[in-house]
A and B are shown apart, each in its own frame.
Chain A
Amino acid sequence: MDLTLKVWRQKNAKTKGKFETYKVKNISPDSSFLEMLDILNEQLIHKGMDPVAVDRGCESSGPVSFDHDCREGICGACSLYINGRAHGPDDEVTTCQLHMRKFKDGDTITIEPWRSNVFPVIKDLVVDRRAFDKIMQAGGYVSVNVGGVPDGNVIPISHETAEESMDAAACIGCGACVATCKNGSAMLFVAARVSSLALLPQGRVEAAKRAKAMVAKMDELGFGSCTNTRACEMECPKHVTISHIARLNREFISAKFKE
């Protein structure tokens, strides 16, 4: 396959970015999207070896920076906005699981970083998602120490409850929900953690407090509010649903009542 790529290039957080257009050839439909970008990068590096290109001040002729790691859809590092969709034109996949067979020969593909003020661009397609860590540090845990805990089978948990908790716990913290939300809300991310823990007896104890603390941190960091557009759920690569936002709201209101 031969493709035209319009890629967002930005030197760092302080400079303005712009789209650059590149062409790639002979891409196998079985290659993943990121393998296609690897090929682009090899091409750009070879071009950069050409002293003439470097002398022309081709700063943006260097390789395109993008976050990636496991390349099997679980680490949550990859984060591209492809043709206007978070993680591109396939459902329930991350960018690294997107394969070129989803495109046609001759296509033009637009590639952008996550769109969110809270995730500033570090370089090109790489953004800073430390805000997610901060939300987790605000309360996304069960306050138990290591050691001195009861046997794992002491408290039975119904099969269905464990499965529902797992549905929420499947969140990979990629940030697609924030990037796709017109308000830039992190509600689905917060809800995934709050709901997963609130469903289990171990996490139940601090459920309301946790919801309040994590939402407060989310607001403080500048994420937007949720207006139930459901865009997050549509683009979530792990199919975390907004029913977990409902549970988060329940916990949040219950925390308010307790005050």
Chain B
Amino acid sequence: MAEKLISKIPEGPLSEKWTKHKSQLRVVNPGNKRKIEIIVVGTGLGGASAAATLGQLGYKVKVFCISDSPRRAHSIAAQGGINAAKNYQSDNDSVYRLFYETIKGGDYRSREANVYRLAEVSGNIIDQCVAQGVPFAREYGGLLSNRSFGGAQVSRTFYARGQTGQQLLLGAYAAMNRQIAEGNVESFPRHEMLDVVLINGEAKGIIARNLVTGEIERFGAHAVVIATGGYGNTYFLSTNAMNSNGSAAWQCYKKGAYFANPCFAQIHPTCIPVHGDQQSKLTLMSESLRNDGRIWVPKKKEDVMRLRKKEVKPSQIPEEDRDYYLERRYPAFGNLVPRDVASRAAKERCDAGFGVNETGLAVFLDFSTAIKRLGEDKIRERYGNLFQMYQKITDTDPYKEPMMIYPAIHYTMGGLWVDYNLQTTVPGLYAIGEANFSDHGGNRLGASALMQGLADGYFILPYTIGDYLAGQFKYPVPDTNSPEFAEAENAVRAKIDKLMSIKGKHTVDEIHKKLGHIMWEYVGMARNEAGLKKAIEMIQELRKEFWSDVYVAGQKDNFNQELEKALRLADFLEIGELMARDALHRKESCGGHFREEMQTEDGETKRDDEHFMYVAAWEYKGDDKEPELHKEPLVYENIKIATRNYKD
């Protein structure tokens, strides 16, 4: 079989690749664009911006989301900001520096050309959002304000209080609404894609379930764009929204699209700790807080014990008895080390017995130094909504006592494998934003998810998809009465009927929680060979239990949230296994993937560039067969490979 992993990275110097590539891409003339239909699944930053732009170009777009409104996609919850190499602060930022820091932050496991392009278009995103009326924070002179984020040595993060994702999404949603008003985009809220339909090996439509009526519907198009985010909810508890899921991408995988680097999951260091077994999800406290917050645990075990028994307040622990462990271990970056580094450091302290709450799984994020320096009002202006959120959840006032935080699953760097055009290994099937794997390597830097979602949707996909569509306008919109559609619909119906008929003893959530425990324990912050092997077996067992003993309440032919959850869990139970398999095969530590067998003397990640400097792309071979691993070598022509160093 011909090798499908052709990255299509253009020849030539790094800084000229994208420009040159664009000039060589085919375009569709305006008259023909009207004849072409595109399906966009998902309405977060990637999906909404892509739908808006494709609509503006004159294509006929159908856009789908599972929520009651496109504006509710989980991009809305991104707090801290969006990176762009504007160099407005004159702190010597540049496209190259953003590129370099992103590659380094990703621990040298992302593609040079993709990341450079991302940095290159980052400035356009800010201009676009300003033009749409996004109320970014401004300095007193009226110019745009910046803050710093982890892994960066300059201040390049643009923000709108702690609601940057919300404001950017409302901008993209508004741009899409304008296209809806003009008749170029049609919106299908409360619709869930349950399969992608291939005709002659190319993506030509989807099968979706109308979540209100339960009807199974067919939609045909010349191309399909997957913008459905990540699979972090495999872990049950994560900072992802409750309905975020990996199913759309997973159906693509099962139809032949390769799935890349599934084991690269980001664990965010600053989340509100788990309070008990009634918990349904975890809440993030923005990384921007690390601009002014200092992370610490007590130096003395007796202080830890007194804190746990609530005999003493954290603010009463004297300065000299506090261990600001990030500042101690990483003097050059201090509290602003990348997320994976900060998370592991918190785990290390808690494992050593210094966790500060009853469960022993929490560290402090303290603002007292900043409040002394800047005053409470300034801190309120910067982070007011986050402090309010924290106070409402924990009943503790973070202006007076430090926040308690602990790492939690937040983002998945892995995803559908795509080439430089953002096309998967299935022609006509594209993946953008978190749903693809392309830009963040082993670890994503803070404020880069928003950047990637909008870069893909506004400035990259609308160009690259034209190259495919230029060969498509002569064909009519695929007939949804074709046998391929019928077959896909029947398979979906059979799956739903099977789920409804099991009538077992366990609820969907009970099984999902079990999966979450396995994933967090063995495929979480620290992984090892024995644990991963065990995890694979346990997940396989659990999957059997699910298919023989789950109970899905309600009916299939009306609004049924239990059925929605069951369909998603069926896929999480497969995604989890692939994550474990990928983690097992990658016998190195890099970014968020920490193999205990591979660490330096002081507990840092130890890469194995000789054997693992590649993208692991998995090919589905059938339900009972092991997936096949394909490797896309990573070539670094412009960056000197080095050990990641945030110490000096």
Contacts and interface: CB of A to CB of B under 8 A. Distances in A.
19 contacts: A31-B278, A35-B279, A36-B278, A38-B280, A44-B553, A45-B562, A49-B551, A65-B559, A70-B72, A93-B392, A97-B392, A133-B71, A137-B177, A137-B181, A139-B181, A156-B143, A159-B138, A165-B133, A196-B135
A136 B67 CA distance: 16
Contacts of A146: 49, 52-53, 56, 128, 175, 458-459, 462
Given A133-B177, A169-B163, 14 more contacts: A31-B279, A38-B278, A42-B509, A62-B562, A69-B67, A69-B74, A75-B241, A138-B181, A146-B52, A146-B128, A147-B124, A156-B142, A166-B167, A173-B71
Nearest to B161: A166
Interface stretch (A104-112, A197-205, A219-227, A244-252): A197-205
Interface string B592-618: 000000000000000000000000000
Contacts of B458: 146
B558 interface: yes
B139 A159 contact: yes
A92 B88 contact: no
A141, A151, A158, A197, most chain B CB atoms within 10 A: A141
Nearest to A149: B131
Interface of B: 49, 52-53, 56, 67-72, 74, 76-77, 86, 88, 124, 126-133, 135-144, 160-161, 163, 165-167, 170, 173-175, 177-178, 180-181, 187, 189, 212, 241-243, 275-276, 278-281, 283-284, 385, 388-389, 392-393, 395, 458-459, 462, 503, 505, 507, 509-510, 551, 553-554, 558-562
Contacts of A11: 558
A183 interface: no
Interface string A3-33: 0000000011000000000000001101110
A71 B241 contact: yes
Interface of A: 11-12, 27-28, 30-32, 34-36, 38-39, 42, 44-46, 48-49, 62-63, 65, 67-77, 90, 92-93, 97, 99, 101, 122-123, 126, 128-130, 132-133, 136-147, 149-153, 156-159, 161-163, 165-166, 169-170, 172-173, 196-197, 199-200, 202-203
Given A128-B68, A156-B141, A157-B138, A63 B132 contact: no
Given A72-B389, A75-B77, A32 B175 contact: no
Contact of B174 (A28, A136, A152): A136
B70 A133 contact: yes
Nearest to A139: B181
Contacts of B166: 74, 169-170, 172
Contacts, number: 228
Nearest to A150: B127
B63 to A, nearest CB: 12
Given A126-B559, A133-B70, A145 B278 contact: no
A49 B505 contact: yes
A90 B392 contact: yes
A31 B276 contact: yes
A164 B283 CA distance: 27
A136 B53 CA distance: 18
B193 to A, nearest CB: 17
B542 to A, nearest CB: 18
A233 B145 CA distance: 30
Contact of A28 (B130, B165, B275, B284): B275
B174 A75 contact: no
A73 B131 contact: no
Given A34-B280, A153-B88, A70 B77 contact: yes
B242 A69 contact: yes
A163 B160 CA distance: 9
A77 B392 contact: no
A59 B161 CA distance: 46
B559 A12 contact: yes
A63 B562 contact: yes
A208 to B, nearest CB: 15
A72 B135 contact: no
A141 B175 contact: yes
A185 to B, nearest CB: 19
Contacts of B507: 42, 45-46
A201 to B, nearest CB: 9
Contacts of B459: 146-147
Contacts of A140: 174, 177
A162 B131 contact: no
B124, B131, B132, most chain A CB atoms within 10 A: B131
Nearest to B281: A71
